Chain A
C-alpha cells in the first residue's frame, strides 16, 4: 500500500514539481499510513528505486545509453549502469529516510498527545 501510494504519487507529482517532492511524499505517506518503522523505510526505498530506475531506463535505452556513458566517464566511472545504480539507490535512500522520519514524527506527536 505505502509502496504503491509513493510510487504513483511520486510519478505524477514529479512531472510538474522538483525531485525533492519525493521527500515530502514519503514523509507524508509514512506519517499518515506507515504501519511500522520497517515498512516506512523499505517501502519508500523500493518505490523510488523502481520508479527512478524505470524512468531512467525509459529515457536512456532509446538513446543507446550514449549520454549516461559520457556522464559515467565524467564521474570517473567506466560503466554506465553504475550511474543508474547510484541514481536509484541515492533516490531510494532519501525517500527511505524521509519515510522513516515521517513515521517517527507521527509516533512522537502521538506520544506527546497521549501524555497530554
Chain B
C-alpha cells in the first residue's frame, strides 16, 4: 500500500504552493512550467489569427521594438485588437493591478495581504469603480470602446493553455479570470489613488491642535514664498466666477478624533511643456511630457498606434484601459501632469451610538448605509467586511491597522469624501483627444474629464499651444479641507463644482510657451480655491528659466532639457549653507566634502560627489530643524514644506524653530548646519568608505527598476545615472520619468519617446527591458506614426492578420 501512497504524496507535494515557495515541479517542469515562457529571440515574420469577435479584417504591424501598429476598419475592431494585443504582452500585469485596486490580493497570496485589501475596500475603490462604470456605460461611444476592449482581452485569455500562462501565474500559482468592464474602471481608480489620494488633513489637524492656528498658518502658508505658477502670473480670467460658498463660523473651532490618509508620495510628479513655432527652428510647436511615477517592470505604459477611420494616433496606453493616454496624431499632441487638487476630504462623524446606524447632520439624525465587502482569502475562510457609508462617503476606519504604513494618514471614525467616488467617464476625454484636430477639439475633450485632475498640455499644427489644469473641482471656500471637516454641518459639504470652462487655462501666452511641473496652478488672483499647497516650484522654475531663453529649438534641445539635472534648491540655499560652516571645526573628510560641495556646479550628475553631500546635508538639516517639534509618536504630523524651510533659513536665521527643544542648550541655525554636514560625512563614510569615487551620486542613489510584485531577479540591473527629485530629470531610487516624449508638430509630425522597460511583460522576452539603456542614457527612439501597415518608415519585424473567419 505504501508503494502507492509515496508517489501520490510526492506528486501532490511538488504540485502545491507552500507559503511563498512556488509549487516546485509545477513551476520547474519544462512542459508547462516557466521554461515555456522563454521566448525565442528570432521573431516569426507573418502570423494569421482567426478571432470571431472582430467584424472586419485587422492588420497589426509590430516594429523593431515590438510596438504594435493596429490598422482596423472600424472603432469596434480597433479597441478589440488593442485589448487582444495588450493582453498578449501584459496579461498578468493587467490582472494583478486590477486585483490590487479591487482589494483582492489576499485571493492570490493569502492572509498576509488582508490589511491592504481592507484598506482598498474601505477607501471605496470598488464603490468608486462601480460609479465610474455607470458613467462609461451611459455613453454609447465609451460603451462600445470598453466592451470591445474587454472582448479582445477575453479572446486572448481563452486562447491560452496552461503552458502559455504568463510566468507570474505559475510562480504565484493562480489563473487568469475573465476580464470585465469594471476592471477598466478599477484601473483608472487606481491611477486616481496613486495621483490624488494624498491627504494631509489628519496631520494638519494635529498640527493645529498642538501649535494653534497662528503658528500653523505661519509654517503652512496658503501660497509659497517662491512660485512660478503654471498659468503665467497676470493672465486675465475671462469669466464671471460663481459665488464662493461662505466659510462656516465653526471652521476654526473644529475638533477632531484620531483620523489619517496616505500622504501624497513625494516624487510623484511630472513635467510637460509646449513651445510655440516662434521659438522653434521648424516654425511649428514642439511638445514634451514626462510623467514621474514609481518605476516598475513590466512597464507602467504600453506603446501603441491605433488606426481606424477618423482615428490615427500614437502614444502610450495604460494596460487595462482602451485608447491612448499621452500621445499625438497628425494634427495635435497632448500630455499630462498631476494637478494635486484638494479633492479628498475627511469629515468627522458624530454617530448616535456604537451601531453606527445613524449620524448627526444638519440638526437631525441621518441613516447610514452598509456595504458588505466579501474578501476572499487563499487558504482561509472569506471575510465579510461591513463598511459604513454616510452621504459624504465611506468611514474608512473605526480601528486603525497596526502594520499598514499607507493608512498612517487616515483618521479613524471619519468619513471620506473623494472625487474618485463620483460617476465619471474619463475614457471620452481620450476618445476625443485621440481623434482631435485642433484647439476646439482639445477644449471639448477636456469637459469629459473628472479625476485624477491633470494639467493637460496641448500643441497643434495650427501653431496653437495651451495648458489647462483640468478635472472636476469642488466649489469650496478657501482652505476647505486643509483640516478635517465637521461632518455635522452642511456648510462643510462640497457645494457644487467649478464650471469646466472656468478651470485655469491659457492659450498662446505672450511668452510663447506653456509648462507645468505640479506647482501652483495659478497666481493668487484666481477666484476659486483648488488647494492650499502644490508641488515645489523648483522643476517648474528651471523649465521656465530654460524655455524663456530658448530660441530655434529642435527636438534635440528639448530632449537634452528633459534630462537636465540642475538643482534650483541648491541654487537657492547652498550659498547660505556654505557661508554658515565653520571650517576650523571640520576633520579632513569633512573639509574635502565642503570643498567638493562648494565647487559643485549644482547639477545632479551621476559622477558628482557634491550632489551626494548636498542631498544628505539638506535632508539632515531639515530633520534637525523640524524633528524635535513635529515628530511625536502619538500625534502624527508632517514637516513644513521645503519652500517654507528655505524661507526661514534665508530670511529668518534667528527663528525659534532652529532650537532643539529636547536639549537644554539653545541651538542656532549655524549649529544645525554644521552638525548636519558632519553627520552627512560620517554616514557617507560609514557606508561608502573614504571620500572618493564611491561617494558619487549615481552610486549613492542606486537607481533601478524593480518588478511590479518585487520578485527578485525580475527587475532591472542597477543604473548608475544622475537626476534627482526637484530637478527636471526627477529620478530617485525607483521613481522618475516613466515615459519621455517629445513631439515636433508640423505637416508630418515627428515623435520621439522612450520608457524604462519594454513592450513585453514577460521577463523571458527580449522585449522585456530592451529600452532601459536608451532611457538611462537620456536618448529617445523615433516613434513611427504609420499611414499603413506597409509604410516603409516603420521598421516592421512582424505582421499579424486577424480575420473573423
Residue ranges of A at the interface with B (Cβ–Cβ < 8 Å)? 14-15, 18-20, 23, 26-27, 52, 55-56, 58-60, 62-68, 70-74, 76, 83, 86-87, 90-91, 94, 97-98, 101-102, 104-105, 108
In the complex, residue of chain B having the shortest beta-carbon distance to the beta carbon of A108: B3
Q: Are A87 and B30 also in contact (CB < 8 A) when A63-B38, A67-B764, A70-B764 are?
A: yes
Besides A18-B32, A74-B713, A87-B33, 5 other A-B contacts (C-beta < 8 A): A18-B15, A63-B39, A67-B35, A67-B167, A74-B712
Q: Which residues of B contact A72 (CB under 8 A)?
A: 713
Q: Which residues of B contact A52 (CB under 8 A)?
A: 29-30
Q: Are A20 and B15 also in contact (CB < 8 A) when A52-B29, A72-B713, A73-B713 are?
A: yes
**Does B588 sit at the interface, judged by CB under 8 A?**
no
Q: Can you spell out 11 A-B residue pairs with CB atoms less than 8 angstroms apart?
A: A19-B31, A55-B30, A64-B766, A66-B764, A67-B38, A67-B39, A74-B714, A87-B30, A94-B7, A101-B3, A102-B7
Expressed in whole angstroms, the minimum distance between the Cβ of B692 and any Cβ of chain A is 28
Interface centre among B31, B34, B167 (most CB of A within 10 A): B31
Leading 7 A-B pairs by shortest Cβ distance = A67-B764, A73-B713, A63-B38, A19-B29, A74-B713, A55-B30, A105-B3
Please tell me if the beta carbons of B766 and A66 are within 8 angstroms of each other in the complex. Answer: yes
Please tell me if the beta carbons of A71 and B713 are within 8 angstroms of each other in the complex. Answer: yes
Expressed in whole angstroms, the minimum distance between the Cβ of B331 and any Cβ of chain A is 41
Please tell me if the beta carbons of A62 and B42 are within 8 angstroms of each other in the complex. Answer: yes
Task: From A15, A67, A94, give the contact of B31 (CB < 8 A).
Answer: A15
Flag B755-774 by CB within 8 Å of A: 1 or 0 each.
00000000110100000000
Q: Which residues of A contact B39 (CB under 8 A)?
A: 63, 67
Q: Which residues of A contact B764 (CB under 8 A)?
A: 63, 66-67, 70
Expressed in whole angstroms, the minimum distance between the Cβ of B629 and any Cβ of chain A is 45
If over half of A's interface residues share one DSSP class (helix, strand or loop), that class is named, otherwise mixed; here it is helix
Please tell me if the beta carbons of A90 and B35 are within 8 angstroms of each other in the complex. Answer: no
Q: What total of chain B residues lie within 8 Å of the partner, measured CB to CB?
A: 36
Complexed CA–CA distance, A50 and B80 (Å): 43
Please tell me if the beta carbons of A67 and B34 are within 8 angstroms of each other in the complex. Answer: yes
Q: Are A59 and B714 also in contact (CB < 8 A) when A19-B26, A70-B764, A94-B25 are?
A: no
Please tell me if the beta carbons of A63 and B40 are within 8 angstroms of each other in the complex. Answer: yes
Q: Are A102 and B3 also in contact (CB < 8 A) when A19-B25, A67-B167, A72-B713 are?
A: yes
Q: Which residues of B contact A105 (CB under 8 A)?
A: 3-4
In the complex, residue of chain B having the shortest beta-carbon distance to the beta carbon of A100: B3
Task: From B7, B35, B38, B162, give the contact of A23 (CB < 8 A).
Answer: B7
**Does B633 sit at the interface, judged by CB under 8 A?**
no
**Does B10 sit at the interface, judged by CB under 8 A?**
yes
Q: Which residues of A contact B14 (CB under 8 A)?
A: 20, 90, 94
Please tell me if the beta carbons of B36 and A59 are within 8 angstroms of each other in the complex. Answer: yes
Complexed CA–CA distance, A16 and B711 (Å): 29
Expressed in whole angstroms, the minimum distance between the Cβ of A49 and any Cβ of chain B is 12
Q: Which residues of A contact B29 (CB under 8 A)?
A: 14, 19, 52, 87, 91
Please tell me if the beta carbons of A59 and B38 are within 8 angstroms of each other in the complex. Answer: yes
Complexed CA–CA distance, A26 and B712 (Å): 35
In the complex, which residues 27-73 of chain B have their Cβ closer than 8 Å to any Cβ of chain A?
28-42
Complexed CA–CA distance, A26 and B7 (Å): 10
Q: Which residues of A contact B278 (CB under 8 A)?
A: none
Complexed CA–CA distance, A15 and B8 (Å): 21
Please tell me if the beta carbons of A97 and B6 are within 8 angstroms of each other in the complex. Answer: yes
Expressed in whole angstroms, the minimum distance between the Cβ of B669 and any Cβ of chain A is 48
Expressed in whole angstroms, the minimum distance between the Cβ of A63 and any Cβ of chain B is 4
Q: Are A19 and B7 also in contact (CB < 8 A) when A63-B764, A66-B764, A70-B714 are?
A: no
Interface centre among B6, B41, B712 (most CB of A within 10 A): B6
Please tell me if the beta carbons of A90 and B11 are within 8 angstroms of each other in the complex. Answer: no
**Does B24 sit at the interface, judged by CB under 8 A?**
yes
In the complex, residue of chain A having the shortest beta-carbon distance to the beta carbon of B15: A20
Please tell me if the beta carbons of A62 and B41 are within 8 angstroms of each other in the complex. Answer: yes
In the complex, residue of chain A having the shortest beta-carbon distance to the beta carbon of B33: A19
Please tell me if the beta carbons of A101 and B28 are within 8 angstroms of each other in the complex. Answer: no
Please tell me if the beta carbons of A62 and B3 are within 8 angstroms of each other in the complex. Answer: no
Q: Which residues of B contact A83 (CB under 8 A)?
A: 28
Q: Are A70 and B28 also in contact (CB < 8 A) when A56-B35, A97-B6 are?
A: no
Complexed CA–CA distance, A96 and B568 (Å): 68
Q: Which residues of A contact B42 (CB under 8 A)?
A: 62
Please tell me if the beta carbons of A70 and B763 are within 8 angstroms of each other in the complex. Answer: yes
Q: Are A68 and B6 also in contact (CB < 8 A) when A18-B15, A19-B32 are?
A: no
Please tell me if the beta carbons of B41 and A63 are within 8 angstroms of each other in the complex. Answer: yes
Q: Which residues of B contact A86 (CB under 8 A)?
A: 28
Task: From B10, B33, B36, give the contact of A98 (CB < 8 A).
Answer: B10
Task: From A23, A64, A104, give the contact of B3 (CB < 8 A).
Answer: A104
Expressed in whole angstroms, the minimum distance between the Cβ of A100 and any Cβ of chain B is 8
Task: From B10, B26, B40, B714, give the contact of A62 (CB < 8 A).
Answer: B40
Q: Which residues of B contact A14 (CB under 8 A)?
A: 29, 31-32
Q: Which residues of B contact A94 (CB under 8 A)?
A: 7, 10-11, 14, 25
Flag B213-236 by CB within 8 Å of A: 1 or 0 each.
000000000000000000000000
Please tell me if the beta carbons of A70 and B713 are within 8 angstroms of each other in the complex. Answer: yes
Complexed CA–CA distance, A67 and B24 (Å): 17
Please tell me if the beta carbons of A66 and B38 are within 8 angstroms of each other in the complex. Answer: yes
Q: Which residues of B contact A60 (CB under 8 A)?
A: 35, 38
Interface centre among A19, A66, A76 (most CB of B within 10 A): A19
Q: Which residues of A contact B40 (CB under 8 A)?
A: 62-63
Complexed CA–CA distance, A106 and B8 (Å): 16
In the complex, residue of chain A having the shortest beta-carbon distance to the beta carbon of B161: A16
Complexed CA–CA distance, A70 and B716 (Å): 10
In the complex, which residues 751-805 of chain B have their Cβ closer than 8 Å to any Cβ of chain A?
763-764, 766
In the complex, residue of chain B having the shortest beta-carbon distance to the beta carbon of A83: B28
Complexed CA–CA distance, A52 and B36 (Å): 12
Q: Which residues of A contact B41 (CB under 8 A)?
A: 62-64
Complexed CA–CA distance, A68 and B6 (Å): 30
Complexed CA–CA distance, A82 and B760 (Å): 26
Q: Which residues of B contact A62 (CB under 8 A)?
A: 38, 40-42
Task: From B3, B11, B28, B35, give the contact of A20 (CB < 8 A).
Answer: B11
Expressed in whole angstroms, the minimum distance between the Cβ of A107 and any Cβ of chain B is 9
Expressed in whole angstroms, the minimum distance between the Cβ of A51 and any Cβ of chain B is 8
In the complex, residue of chain B having the shortest beta-carbon distance to the beta carbon of A56: B30
Q: Which residues of B contact A71 (CB under 8 A)?
A: 34, 713
Complexed CA–CA distance, A67 and B41 (Å): 12
Q: Which residues of B contact A18 (CB under 8 A)?
A: 15, 26, 32, 162
Flag B543-555 by CB within 8 Å of A: 1 or 0 each.
0000000000000
Flag B1-23 by CB within 8 Å of A: 1 or 0 each.
00110111011001100000000
Interface centre among A15, A66, A68 (most CB of B within 10 A): A66
Please tell me if the beta carbons of B11 and A87 are within 8 angstroms of each other in the complex. Answer: no
Expressed in whole angstroms, the minimum distance between the Cβ of B295 and any Cβ of chain A is 18
Expressed in whole angstroms, the minimum distance between the Cβ of B493 and any Cβ of chain A is 51
Please tell me if the beta carbons of A23 and B10 are within 8 angstroms of each other in the complex. Answer: yes
Expressed in whole angstroms, the minimum distance between the Cβ of A81 and any Cβ of chain B is 13
In the complex, residue of chain B having the shortest beta-carbon distance to the beta carbon of A94: B10
Flag B695-721 by CB within 8 Å of A: 1 or 0 each.
000000000000000011110000000
In the complex, residue of chain B having the shortest beta-carbon distance to the beta carbon of A60: B38
In the complex, residue of chain A having the shortest beta-carbon distance to the beta carbon of B713: A73
Complexed CA–CA distance, A105 and B4 (Å): 7
Q: Which residues of A contact B713 (CB under 8 A)?
A: 70-74
Q: Which residues of A contact B8 (CB under 8 A)?
A: 23
Expressed in whole angstroms, the minimum distance between the Cβ of A73 and any Cβ of chain B is 3
Expressed in whole angstroms, the minimum distance between the Cβ of A75 and any Cβ of chain B is 8
